[in-house]
Amino acid sequence: MNLKVIQANIQSILTELGEDPNREGLLETPERVAKSYEKLFGGYTQKPEDVITVFQNEGYDEMIIAKDIDFYSTCEHHMLPFFGKAYVGYIPNDKIIGLSKLPRLVEIFSRRLQNQERLTKQIADTLTEQLNPKGVGVVLKAEHFCMKARGVEKQNCEISTSSFTGLFIKNLNTRTEFLRLIG
Ligand code: ZN
C-alpha cells in the first residue's frame, strides 16, 4: 500500500467536495486517512495460516465457542464501515486452535473490503481447512453505515449472517445448542 498515492487521492476528493485542502483542519487529513487505511485494510497483507496456532486435541469432543468477538469491517459497495459481533464455534477432531487466534482470524478477514456474507463464510471455511473439525458454526451480527447514513428507513436494522458445516448442518441439536449458547 503506497500511502503517498492514497494521500494525493484523498486531497483530490477534498477539493472535489468543494473544500479547501489547505485550511488548517484539513492539512493533515489526507495523511491521517492514509494511515487509517493501513489499519482498516491491513488484512490484505496477512494470511490466516501465518497467525493460526494449531494444537493436538487431547480428547476434547464438545463444542468450543468464542462469543462476542468485536469486529470492524468496510463494505465493498460503499466503502463505509460495518461492524458488530462475531460468534465462532466448532467441534474438534484431532486438532484445536489457540483460543486467542479466533479473534485474530476474524480480524484478518474483516480488515479488507468485504460483504458480510463472504466474511462469514471465509471464517468458517478457513477453520474447516486448518482444523478439519467435525463442524463449524459462524454467526455475524452487524450494523451497516451504508444503511444507517444514506437515508434508508431501517436505521436500527441489524444484519445477521451465518455459515455452518459438518455436524452444524447434519445435526439439528448441535446447531440449536450453538445458537442457544451464543444467545
Ligand atoms: Zn454498503
| All domains in the chain, ordered by first residue | 3-40 (1.10.286.10), 47-182 (3.30.1130.10)
Q: 143 catalytic, yes or no?
A: no
Confidence of residue 149 (pLDDT cuts 50, 70, 90): confident
Q: Sign of the CA dihedral 57, 59, 61, 65?
A: negative
Ligand 1 centroid – CA 117 distance (Å): 12
Q: Is the pLDDT of residue 154 over 90?
A: no
Catalytic-labelled residue, pool 7, 114, 116, 122: 116
Catalytic-labelled residue, pool 38, 77, 117, 158: 77
User: One-letter amino acid identity for 38?
Assistant: E
Ligand 1 centroid – CA 118 distance (Å): 13
pLDDT digits (tens, 9 = 90+) for 66-110: 999 999 999 999 999 999 999 999 999 999 999 899 999 999 999
Catalytic-labelled residue, pool 76, 117, 129, 158: 76
Q: 75 catalytic, yes or no?
A: yes
Catalytic-labelled residue, pool 19, 31, 46, 78: 78
pTM: 0.93
Average pLDDT over residues 129-140: 97
Instruction: Give the chain's mean pLDDT.
Output: 95
Catalytic-labelled residue, pool 11, 75, 107, 122: 75
Q: 157 catalytic, yes or no?
A: no
Minimal CA–CA distance to 52: which of 124, 103, 118, 112? 103
Q: 77 catalytic, yes or no?
A: yes
Ligand 1 centroid – CA 76 distance (Å): 6
Ligand 1 centroid – CA 111 distance (Å): 15
Ligand 1 centroid – CA 35 distance (Å): 22
